[in-house]
Amino acid sequence: MGPTTQQSAFKLGEKVDDPVSMYMNDIYTISSNLSGVPAISHPVGFVDNLPFGLQIIAPHFKEQDLLNITHRYQMETDWHLQIPEICRGID
C-alpha cells in the first residue's frame, strides 16, 4: 500500500513540455504493471484541491481481495463523493 503518485495531480497542461516529469509521476504504478500483479488505485482525498490516490498491490490471483478492501474503504469514507473545488459548477 502506498501513494499512486509522488504528488497530487498536476494541472492540465502543466507538464506538457516536461515528459520526464510526467513519466516520473507514474513511477509508483509501473512496477505492478510490469510484474503483472493486481493493483488498484483509489481516491483518498485532495492536496491543493487536486485529487490524490492510494495504490494497493496484492499477490498474484488476489484481485478479489483488492476489490473487497477498496469496497470496504469506500463504504467507510466519502472521498469518492467529494468534488474538487476546481470542478464545481462544471456540468
> Can you give the pLDDT of all 91 residues of the chain as single tens digits?
888 888 777 777 888 888 888 888 888 888 888 999 999 988 888 888 887 888 999 999 999 999 999 999 989 998 878 887 777 777 6
What cell numbers appear for 76 in the block?
A: 467507510
- What is the spatial distance between Cα 47 and Cα 66, in angstroms, rounded to a whole number? 24
Number of structural domains found in the chain: 1
Domain assignment of residue 89, yes or no: no
CB 27 within 8 A of CB 6: yes
Domain assignment of residue 91, yes or no: no
Residue 80 contacts by C-beta under 8 Å, 6 or more apart in sequence?
42, 43, 74
Range of the domain at 30: 2-84
pTM of the model: 0.73
Domain assignment of residue 90, yes or no: no
